[in-house]
Structure 1
Amino acid sequence: MSQILVVTASPRGSASYSNQVADALVAKLKAERPGATVVVRNLADTPLDHVGEAFVTGRVLPPADRSAAQAAAMVPSDAAIAEVNASDVIVIASPMYNFGVPSTLKAWIDHLARPGVTFSYSANGPEGLIKGKKVYLVEARGGVYSEGPYQVLNFQEPYLKAVLGFLGIKDLETITVEGIGYGPEAAEKALNGALGKVAALAA
């Protein structure tokens, strides 16, 4: 059975542009996949702890060799990885914060990136171990960063594509809502444009 994992990072709830577009996208995906299960990880409401010493030291040890603190630090990481592994489609909805992603989303990625679990190193270099996933990136931005003079400040999309690619996720599609900070008319136009892209997505 298909599972759709929805990862949201905006604290603005239903007023969030990234959440609104993600909701429309998930509705379309569910319609195309009768019986699909949807799992939502709301990082704004339930953020993961930023990684600390117990996580950093424990993640490279066999489970039997971890201290109690190290074992506890792995629990949310194991849960995040299990959700990703169980899903064939992943929707990541993120606003742009200071040209990058929210720290809550970065923390989720830090919990996801585990040597020997989601990536490995060999004589041929690093290899991502998360295979066969389709990922949709829904990105909201107050300004316009996909082109023009501010494109060099867009560390949101390049970062997400790079780190997910490093983990083995190559099938990525981006839906952008940008220019929403330029006033109500610009925001409505950007939202409608993004919703139009969702409607036009091939199954």
Structure 2
Amino acid sequence: MTRVLVVTSSILGDHGQSLGLARHFQRLAEQRGEIELTIRDVVADDLPHLNIAELSSWQVAEEERTSEQRELAAVSDALIAEVRAHDVVVLAVPMYNFGIPSQLKAWFDRILHAGKTFRYTENGPLGLVEGKRAILLAARGGKYAGTAMDTQTPHITQLLGMIGITELDTVYAEGLNMGDEIKEAALNEAHNQIEALVAAL
């Protein structure tokens, strides 16, 4: 049994193209019968931006935390435990102003936790989350992949690599706001790539 965590981050609800890619992945995975899925919608979760109170709670020994600090620290701990419990992390990501949604950044801010998912060494950071792979399902109104304007993919690659997830497959659905013909072709190609990835799980 392969355990897959699907993280969605569209603010457009049912109209989000990245959510549509995630749901296509989900339907195919459920048909397989050998895949256990967990869906986390970081928009519905409404994680706040990381602040000093929450960050500081991580630095206090567990037995010395106040009740408020325990509650704050538990957020990161739960999200990290969820990632560790799965074999594959699927990120369904729209592009907003060349970056990732702030809600997804808030999720990453709690996943990248020094001492738990990475540690600093003389040779630089060392990821502590081992044996995982990731799949990026990227939906974009324009065409950016492979150009200097795609700052999103390197950012996600670096964030995942920081915790030790270096195997990343990417599926791009681009040009979705460039006319119906381009949109249909892009979604069909993305669906085909998703089908191949699910079949290989």
Q: TM-score, normalised by structure 2?
A: 0.91
Residue ranges of structure 2 left out of the alignment (5+ in a row): none
Alignment of 1:156 with 2:155, yes or no, is no
Of 184, 187, 190, 1:188 maps to 184
Task: Go from structure 1 to structure 2 and tell me whether the alpha carbon gap of 1:33 and 1:191 turns closer, same or farther (over 3 Å shift).
Answer: same
Q: Which moved more, 1:62-71 or 1:106-115?
A: 62-71
- After the TM superposition, which segments of 4 or more aligned residues of structure 1 sit over 6 Å from their partners? none
Alignment of 1:121-136 (within 5 A): 121-136=120-135
- 1:82 is displaced (CA, Å) by 1.1
Match of 2:24 in 1: 24
Q: Is the 8 A contact 1:2 1:33 kept in 2?
A: no
Taking the aligned partners of 2:187 and 2:59, their CA distance within structure 1 comes to 43
- 1:182 is displaced (CA, Å) by 0.9
Q: Which moved more, 1:87-96 or 1:59-68?
A: 59-68
Of 170, 177, 183, 1:174 maps to 170
Taking the aligned partners of 1:39 and 1:67, their CA distance within structure 2 comes to 31
Aligned to 2:135, what secondary structure does the other structure show?
A: strand
Q: Which moved more, 1:53-62 or 1:102-111?
A: 53-62
- 1:31 is displaced (CA, Å) by 4.1
Match of 1:99 in 2: 98
- 1:8 is displaced (CA, Å) by 0.1
Task: Go from structure 1 to structure 2 and tell me whether the alpha carbon gap of 1:33 and 1:159 turns closer, same or farther (over 3 Å shift).
Answer: farther
Taking the aligned partners of 1:166 and 1:117, their CA distance within structure 2 comes to 12
- 1:30 is displaced (CA, Å) by 4.0
Deviations 1:127-165 (A, max 9, x none): 101111121100111111114xxx222221110001100
Alignment of 1:200 with 2:199, yes or no, is no
Match of 1:117 in 2: 116
Taking the aligned partners of 2:66 and 2:184, their CA distance within structure 1 comes to 52
- How many residue pairs are counted as aligned between the two chains? 199
Residue ranges of structure 1 left out of the alignment (5+ in a row): none
Letter in 1 for 2:110: H
- 1:124 is displaced (CA, Å) by 3.0
Q: TM-score, normalised by structure 1?
A: 0.91
Taking the aligned partners of 1:166 and 1:29, their CA distance within structure 2 comes to 28
Q: Which moved more, 1:104-113 or 1:63-72?
A: 63-72
* Identical residues among aligned pairs (%): 39
Taking the aligned partners of 2:6 and 2:164, their CA distance within structure 1 comes to 18
Q: Is the 8 A contact 2:112 2:162 kept in 1?
A: no
Task: Go from structure 1 to structure 2 and tell me whether the alpha carbon gap of 1:82 and 1:102 turns closer, same or farther (over 3 Å shift).
Answer: same
